[in-house]
């Protein structure tokens, strides 16, 4: 029996926007041969540029299923990485999948750029297989 994950409607809309943005990027002359990772990263960066930084507030405790540590980029998975950064990036990845990507990006913008970049890397690593599975890439 296949493993079925139900994502919220906001997450589904985010995937559709990413798919449309990647298709638009590929239609630009010279971009046809760009790697999916780079196209995905550019799409996420475009989303991040459009998201306003919210005022700082305490994040609510999430009851959504948590993704495993494999959601983190390799450079955060090693033992020398700051555990607080790892925990925060993991929380943001979980937020992206349980709520929507723009909210996770908005939350990430409250942190140093390294956290935003790590979130983008983690999302690229998770979204490409999910979108391929759905036939969106």
Predicted confidence (pLDDT) per residue in 33-88, tens digit? 889 899 999 998 888 888 766 555 444 444 333 444 567 888 887 777 888 999 99
Predicted confidence (pLDDT) per residue in 80-136, tens digit? 788 899 999 999 999 998 888 999 999 999 999 999 999 999 999 999 998 999 898
Contact in structure between 41 and 117 (CB atoms under 8 Å): no
pLDDT at site 75? 84
> Is pLDDT larger for residue 1 or for residue 28?
28
pLDDT at site 62? 40
pLDDT at site 45? 87
pTM of the model: 0.75
Confidence band (pLDDT; 50, 70, 90) for 6? Answer: low
Neighbours of 136 (CB within 10 A): 16
16-24: average pLDDT: 91
What percent of the residues of the chain are helix, what percent strand, and what percent coil, each to the nearest 5?
60, 0, 40
pLDDT at site 5? 53
């Amino acid at each position: 029996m296949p493993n079925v994950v139900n994502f919220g409607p906001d997450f589904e809309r985010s995937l559709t926007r990413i798919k449309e943005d990647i298709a638009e990027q590929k239609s630009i002359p010279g971009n046809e041969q760009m790697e999916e990772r780079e196209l995905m990263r550019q799409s996420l960066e475009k989303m991040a540029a459009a998201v306003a930084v919210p005022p700082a507030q305490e994040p609510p405790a999430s009851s959504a299923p948590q993704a495993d540590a494999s959601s983190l980029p390799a450079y955060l998975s090693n033992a020398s990485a700051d555990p607080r950064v790892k925990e925060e990036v993991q929380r943001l990845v979980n937020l992206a999948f349980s709520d929507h990507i723009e909210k996770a990006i908005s939350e990430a913008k409250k942190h140093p750029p390294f956290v935003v970049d790590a979130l983008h890397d983690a999302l690229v690593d998770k979204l490409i297989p999910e979108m391929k599975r759905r036939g969106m890439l």
